[in-house]
Amino acid sequence: MIRILPLGTSQTFCLLFLAFGLNFQELMADERPNIVLLLSDDQAWTDYSFMGHPDVRTPNIDKLASESVVFPRGYVPTALCRPSLMTLATGQYAHRHGVTGNDPSPKYAEPNSDLYNQRRAQLISYIDEFDTLPELLGEQGYLSHQSGKWWEGNFKRGGFTHGMTRGFPEKGGRHGDDGLKIGRDGLQEIYDFVDMAVDQDKPFYLWYAAFMPHTPHTPPDRLYNKYKGKFPET
């Protein structure tokens, strides 16, 4: 079975306590469900047809919502990319995990200077202080895969067994590098991972944090033409 958890950026914290409030021993005593975490980027919680948007049509997400528990009043105390993702990975709010911004403050170090990079490395190190969800699931025999946005260094730093992000200090390692290709350039890495997990008869956890609909706004023609003329050009 695959349990799919669809989330927009404004909905992430709604799931959090559900995920980390699980009694893992009770859950694993009966079954080890596959878990797929879907994250959109820069998408308002109202931008789904099941949430009442008059023009946007999201039939697949609507179907998932009809089969799921929906949290329409979710609250995000840190409505910013990195702190929210760190919370999803660790189960801790920003005042606990210490990540309150995307990057080190330029007030205290010149961007790309040695000191700035040292501060970035320090921010990444905060994740080492917590048991992440991939690590907890790994103790129960899960394989896990990271794709899309990821700020905390190499995917292995977050406890994933597999992933796409090489991470800082690698080139482009600020918030995802190769992982940001997922979705825009296909899904082959995910297909390969799922096939491998199935072949090994292993339960799996997927972190799919695609860099969409965040800029650059380059929708395929089949979607662009569907909405052309309904919204002002920007």
CA distances, 189 to each of 86, 122, 162, 183 (Å): 23, 30, 10, 10
Domains of the chain: 2-96+131-227 (3.40.720.10)
Give pLDDT tens digits for 7-59: 444 333 334 333 444 555 555 555 899 999 999 999 988 999 999 999 999 99
- pTM of structure: 0.84
Dihedral class, residue 153 (left if φ above 0, else alpha if ψ from -120 to 50, else beta)? left
Rounded distance between C-alpha atoms, residue 188 and residue 12, angstroms: 25
Which residues sit opposite 183 in a β-bridge?
186
d(CA 209, CA 181): 11
Pick from 167, 162, 168: which is nearest to 200 by CA? Answer: 162
Q: How confident is the model at residue 4 (pLDDT cuts 50, 70, 90)?
A: very low
Q: What is the tens place of the pLDDT at every residue in 61-98?
A: 999 999 988 888 877 788 899 999 999 999 999 999 99
Task: Tell which wins on pLDDT, 207 or 25.
Answer: 207
